[in-house]
Amino acid sequence: MITADDLVALVRNYNPNCDEPLIRRAWHYGAAMHEGQRRHSGEPYFSHPVAVASILTEMRLDDATIITALLHDTIEDTRSTYSEIAGTFSPEIAELVDGVTKLTNLQLSSSEAKQAENFRKLLIAMSRDLRVILVKLADRLHNMRTIRSMRPDKQGQKARETMEIYAPLAGRMGMQWMREELEDLAFRVLNPEARNSILRRFITLQRESGDVINRITGDIRLELEKAGIEGMVYGRAKKPYSIWRKMQEKDLTFSRLSDIYGFRIIVDDVAECYQVLGLIHQRWKAVPGRFKDYVSNPKQNGYRSIHTTVSGRDGKRVEVQIRTRAMHEVAEAGVAAHWAYKDGARVANPFAVDPAKWVAALTERLDQAGEDHDEFLEHVKLEMYADQVFCFTPKGDVVQLPRGATPLDFAYAIHTRIGHATVSAKVDGLRVPLWTRLRNGQSVEIITAEGQRPQASWLELVRTGRAKAAIRRSLREEDRERFIRLGRELMRVAFEHVGRRLTDKAIDTAARRLGMKDPQELLARIGSAETSARDVVEKLYPELASLPGEEIDSARPVIGLEPGQPFRRAACCQPVPGERIVGITYRGKGVVAHAIDCAVLAGLEDQPERWIDLRWHEGRHAPVHTVAVEITLANSAGVLGRVCSLIGEQKANISDLRFVDRKPDFFRIFVEVDVRDAEHLHHILTVLSAETDVAEVLRFRDPGRQP
């Protein structure tokens, strides 16, 4: 464990004017408060707060933050109190310790409604004093470094929480080194086989190709020397989780993965950054589309650097980052650079972002998500994970968007009203589809029209939480009444499925259990396919939600056949379990089951000897009964994919799909869907009818088809 003298020495390295007596007093106070307490590993508990303080010294933070780290668990885990810390140290330190305590008590892995509320509290804590979050991140980092001493189930929970919340938050705050380490530590717990596999591949790669990092670093230094530029050059292999994520996103094997090595060049001034960029592109071939200039367009957390990817030695792609020393300090510390000390004084770094403005900008956009828990969580996670692109309005104003954003995202970033009225867009003066992915430096012009309203298909086109939330709100308002009616019908069918009758009281109860503000909200969500009626039934009647018994043999699904008698469904009417049927014998074909209302039966009334009384087995049928459905769709982007997704969400397979009529505004398709029974089919037709861009859905029967 680090002693008080060791900790003071670490602080004095960057702040010779630190308050040594106060830091020593905090060390001894924390040690006394935690006396006798042990960690899961058996170590003295106080070793943890000291380790957290040590991590924060690497970020060169002020005395108050270091002391807060030493005391951050005292209010929660010892007899210490807020007033005692305020009197012994200072009200500022007591407020910081109290803030960390409140964050520690947030269960960020709990239910989504609870998690959303805790995210809001986390953002409020950030807005009061960002140092609270810095201590919490260092606390989580040390806990992840020592996670092996925890129970396996606790390890999984903490690792998921780290991957979903703390790692992206560190990245959003500009502390990329901390984000990468948190991700890799969580990855080690969540998927150790994948991580070990990547590490083994690295060892094999180094054995086959030698020390690539040293060779390329030497090449870069040689180019700098030729040009008379003094600079530092570092190279490293990317972290296992970073490589794994890229393999998953691009569906690549390790052998096909490029740019697994990264290099950093640090020079004296901005002019030399661009000079070095020219040297790199002269020596090696630049990879198109992989250049980012965060010097002229800095990230919101103050990050500035030039990124480029080139084909280096032996054709291997490598990423190169070029920045000044001042930019590098911000890149390492992120938002924390605001508090950083150097030689006893706060560093006046021109690139350090004002924490208050950074938090205000983040929370302002997150507030747009409204009160809906799902939207808020989706929005906050999108904002945290965002890697930015910078585009320009026709007047030259810069709009920041996450990677993968489209012109629709751009429109909503300007104003919700403009987003709603968007009909098309021009990028760099050329008309482009609304699903176009924007790139850095492009100029975007949004074309609007009166009377235009958001379409459901837009949800597939946008990337930002703000745009998704605005589109969903508009769709819900416009279609609310229709969705409420459809939702009630879906609920009725779901209740009948488990032998219950739908009542207003049941809807009220379900809405409360699901955290909805009123029953109408629940019905609207079911009608718009945001919530499943089956999920509601499972909440109210978990013991009845599953279909009992074994699945019925799909080769003999009916009662009334003689042993060994061949059977099949009529192609003309395609009856399904749950519908009344009659069997007709055909020479050489056995028995064919027709729906009782099939038009073909009228021509067989004078042949009663061919009629057989059939009925379906009661119980759970396999989803193998093909039914043809005729759908008329709006001819716009993403609609067909949405329809197919809706069918898949109902656990139905599409066995055939063909276009039968195409028009400029609409097209008609036949879809053959494999269903379980009549109720399953009814669910599919109802959900498709609720889709905004579906004009008509009909079950198709063809009396002319051979039985």
Q: Give the N- to C-terminal CA distance of the chain in Å, as an integer.
A: 83
pLDDT above 80 for 103: no
pLDDT tier at 542, thresholds 50, 70, 90 = low
Q: 472-501: b or e for each residue (b if 16 or more CB lie within 10 Å)?
A: bbbbbeebbeebbebbbbbbebbbebbeee
pLDDT above 60 for 257: no
Q: Could you read off the pLDDT of 363-374 as tens digits, one per residue?
A: 554 454 444 445
CA distance linking residue 481 with residue 520, whole number of Å: 9
pLDDT at residue 358, as a whole number: 55
Q: How far is CA 231 from CA 214, 306, 345, in A?
A: 16, 15, 26
pLDDT tier at 254, thresholds 50, 70, 90 = low
pLDDT above 60 for 71: yes
Q: Taking the model in full, what pTM does it have?
A: 0.53
CA distance linking residue 432 with residue 391, whole number of Å: 15
Q: Mean pLDDT over all residues of the chain?
A: 81
Residues designated as active site: 76-77
What number of other Cβ atoms are within 10 A of residue 39's Cβ?
15
pLDDT above 70 for 340: no
Beta strands in 403-467 (DSSP E): 422-427, 430-432, 444-448
Domains, the chain, with CATH or none: 4-190 (1.10.3210.10), 206-346 (3.30.460.10), 358-458 (3.10.20.30), 472-540 (no CATH), 558-616 (no CATH), 625-699 (3.30.70.260)
Q: What is the CA radius of gyration of the chain?
A: 32
pLDDT above 70 for 548: no
What is the pLDDT averaged over residues 662-679? 86
Query: For 70-74, 413-417, 687-691, which range has the lowest pLDDT when averaged over its residues?
Result: 687-691
Beta strands in 480-624 (DSSP E): 558-559, 567-569, 581-586, 590-595, 611-612, 615-616
What number of other Cβ atoms are within 10 A of residue 115's Cβ?
21
Query: Which segments of 289-354 does DSSP mark as H helices, in order?
Result: 325-333
pLDDT above 90 for 628: yes
Nearest CA among 101, 96, 104, 89 for reference residue 29? 89
CA distance linking residue 103 with residue 198, whole number of Å: 35
| Residue 386 vs residue 48, higher pLDDT | 48
CA distance linking residue 455 with residue 692, whole number of Å: 7
pLDDT at residue 373, as a whole number: 47
